[in-house]
Chain A
Amino acid sequence: MSAVPSFDILVIGSGPAGQKAAIQGAKAGQRVAVIERDPGVGGACVYRGTIPSKTLRETALQLERLKRSAAVFECRLRQDAAVSVLMHRLDEVVKAHAAYMADQFARNGVFHFHGRARFLSDRLVEMLSVDGGKQRFTAETIVIATGSRPRIPPEIPIDHENILDSDSILSMVYLPRSLTVLGGGVVASEYASIFSLLGVEVTMIDRAERPVQFFDREIVGQFVQSFERQGGRYCGRQTVTQVRWDGVSQVVTTLADGRTIASDKLLVALGRQPNLEDLNLRAAGLSLTEKGTLDVNEYCQTAVPHIYAVGDVIGPPGLASCAMEQGRRAVCHALGLSVGSMPETIPLGVYTIPEMASVGLDEAAATKQHGAAMVGRARFDEVARGQISGIGDGLLKMVADSAGERVLGVQIVGEGATELIHLGQMALQNGAKIDAFVESIFNFPTLAEAYRVAALDLTGQRRKRAVQARRV
């Protein structure tokens, strides 16, 4: 019998979290192996999630830009356009991304195995190959990064034909005339806004009063306004009692208040479920939380100290950027390297149309944490670039301490929000003062000027407060 290969670090899963963990380990001179259940590197992010949905989103945005130029171009998307046509660049994008990541593994000497992993003990892992073959591995440190898949509520008859989840919706053949989206989270909001912009009549239904609950209320309000102006509809505070295919052409959704909503297709986006059931966690001495996730500390360390868990398997926020940072932190901690104390400055980006992004504390969190907060606002129609580009529905909120001097957080809704947010991130990481934005000169015309406008709004509030204080 051949010897069991031994590694310093064994990563199970090669999505954003696993990939980052593996590369971090390899760069630190460790012998690293990755076991991935899919043939390619990258996980659901590349093949079923982030990359495909963003490719479709890019088409929607191109259409939006053409619409904005209505005075020059007469542009209208075919009502029942084939989805494959709208995602015509997907194959090359996926191939390029997968090739880049495979190359990165190879360059860094990371061993890559294709198969399903399961624990035999806390240090011994068995891999089942797709051809049924088995192989065992041991490792000093094991990182669980197996990701997640769409959660399928038992009461909803998902058939991947008319009632779809966020995996199968991307292989939908033609663009439906109408789409009901169940859920109000990131995935639901992203798809709802993409399809709405593509001309599909979209109805979002969720229990919550507003979508993307963990985001700043005002920012989300702006998103909903844009979504509804585009023709979409958000039905909040609703409970779905039944979803059924009528056997002909419509999916019928019945709400608790008796209303029914009929649509060509229905997307179920009610959260994601961690891929943990095949891992035989008990053999490793691990157990799941009530939510079916793994419990970890701030370093992503599980109850078994040399086993770490990162990405979707530990629960929200389920964003690739956070997952990557978790992968890095886990391995740094395992190797005794400096981890850094910066989790609160990980930016959150939601690729809705318009985009939403956040870093640091939002208005509600700052008020709760510091007793009070001062907020500077800049509407994109107040900056020249916003006017030029016709994207006046954007908003940047700069959250400062109650004195209006120190930056505590930034939230943005509008085109380019997920890029713009990084300026706020750097400000936070360097403890920047509000005045630094006033004193800085930005390129003109750019959307980054919104930072200066928001900072000026804050200094204006400070002055007003000082005047009021003198009067008193």
Chain B
Amino acid sequence: MTVGSDHTAAAESTQQVERELIRRIESGAVDLPLLPQVASRVMALTNDPSADAARLSALIHQDQALAAHVLRIANSPAYMPRTPIVSLQHAVAMLGLTLLSEIAFTASLKTGAYQVPGHEADVKQLWRHALGSGAYAKEIARLRRHNVESAYLCGLLHAIGKPVVLKTVAELSKQFRTPLDRATVMTLLEGYHARVGTLIAEKWGLPKQVAEAIAYSACYEQAPTFRQEVMITCLADRLATYLLVPEVFDEHTVRDHPVFADLNLYPNDVDTLFAAQDRILAVVEAMAV
């Protein structure tokens, strides 16, 4: 077999994985994974008579998958909220410890789903990026005198599709016995996470602003509603990437993006955001443990 035919075979294998990924996306057969450790900790906490809602809320905040799951279940017909519960604070306030315990139990049924063997480093990076985006979204929202509650959730969950795509691609790679290089995996993640995320948002009935951030943060000018939240998420994503994976682009490239002007952030505002790097990093390190 020649080198050329090797390349052709590899390309065909990748296409096979991609086709199956698309089929699964289009059939809507995607589940949001949960971190069982956190679910267990939530369970333990809620069974502890001395536990309080503050500790529970803090725990849930540490996990984007669980956070989304809590919102999904809290918004499901089983609990019949009169309007969507849109934040964890809202969920804690509205549902209380007993109900959250039930939600955590449900969440724990998904044990192991967040583990993607062979991709631990990537999962960790995705998680840190989600935390960084959430924290940055809060900073930007404060600077804009915008409510930070929805901004955090948009930042935290805007790339919720990525771990799902990663897990699916890993499974497909195994199924078709097609090893994929990291660059190909990352390309698939970037290419499909918004679609998967949108599917999740739709299926779970996530708040509209979060759904818009998932779908349009990379192309905010197309967002039909909640443009402010989507722009904040776009910038948070960019700043988090620069903070956590600085080799992706230099500071000049980060600053040279129209979203700064579209958010009406002047040079000194931008400096303020860059000056927050250490604080954001500390939040990420603390919550990523």
Chain B: minimal CB distance from A65 (Å): 22
Q: Which of A39, A150, A173, A264 has the most B CB atoms < 10 Å from its CB?
A: A173
Near A by CB (< 8 A), chain B positions 76-105 give 81-87, 89-90, 92-94
A-B contact count (CB 8 A): 94
- Tell me, yes or no, whether A48 is within 8 Å of chain B by CB: yes
Q: Which A residues are CB-close (under 8 A) to B85?
A: 80
Q: Is the CB of B147 within 8 A of A80?
A: no
Q: Is the CB of A130 within 8 A of B148?
A: no
Near A by CB (< 8 A), chain B positions 129-172 give 138, 141-142, 145-150
Q: Is the CB of B84 within 8 A of A82?
A: yes
- Tell me, yes or no, whether A84 is within 8 Å of chain B by CB: yes
Chain A: minimal CB distance from B182 (Å): 36
Q: Known contacts A160-B142, A165-B145; decide if A130 and B208 are in contact (CB<8 Å).
A: no
Chain B: which residue is nearest A165 at the CB level? B145
Near B by CB (< 8 A), chain A positions 124-141 give 128, 130-132
Q: Is the CB of B52 within 8 A of A173?
A: no
Q: Is the CB of A130 within 8 A of B145?
A: no
Question: Once bound together, how far apart are the Cα atoms of A264 and B84, in whole Å?
Answer: 17
Question: Once bound together, how far apart are the Cα atoms of A82 and B208, in whole Å?
Answer: 10
Q: Is the CB of B89 within 8 A of A249?
A: yes
- Tell me, yes or no, whether B265 is within 8 Å of chain A by CB: yes
Interface majority SS (helix, strand, loop, mixed), chain A: loop
Contact digits for A283-320, partner B, Cβ 8 Å, 1 yes 0 no = 00000000000000000000000000000000000000
Question: Once bound together, how far apart are the Cα atoms of A459 and B127, in whole Å?
Answer: 78
Q: Is the CB of B93 within 8 A of A78?
A: no
Chain B: number of interface residues, binned into ranges: 35 or more
Question: Once bound together, how far apart are the Cα atoms of A36 and B216, in whole Å?
Answer: 29
Q: Which A residues are CB-close (under 8 A) to B149?
A: 161, 172-173
Near A by CB (< 8 A), chain B positions 46-88 give 52-54, 57, 81-87
- Tell me, yes or no, whether A5 is within 8 Å of chain B by CB: no
- Tell me, yes or no, whether A258 is within 8 Å of chain B by CB: no
Q: Is the CB of A248 within 8 A of B94?
A: no
Near B by CB (< 8 A), chain A positions 46-89 give 48, 78-82, 84-85
Q: Known contacts A78-B83, A80-B83, A167-B145; decide if A38 and B264 are in contact (CB<8 Å).
A: yes
Q: Which A residues are CB-close (under 8 A) to B86?
A: 82, 173-174
- Tell me, yes or no, whether B209 is within 8 Å of chain A by CB: yes
Q: Known contacts A39-B264, A131-B261, A249-B53; decide if A171 and B146 are in contact (CB<8 Å).
A: yes
Q: Is the CB of B208 within 8 A of A84?
A: yes
Q: Known contacts A80-B82, A160-B142, A164-B147; decide if A174 and B264 are in contact (CB<8 Å).
A: no
- Tell me, yes or no, whether B260 is within 8 Å of chain A by CB: yes
- Tell me, yes or no, whether A116 is within 8 Å of chain B by CB: yes
- Tell me, yes or no, whether B228 is within 8 Å of chain A by CB: yes
19 A-B contact pairs sorted by A residue (CB < 8 Å): A78-B82, A78-B83, A84-B226, A85-B83, A128-B266, A128-B267, A130-B265, A160-B145, A161-B147, A161-B149, A165-B145, A169-B147, A171-B146, A172-B149, A173-B150, A248-B53, A248-B93, A249-B53, A264-B93
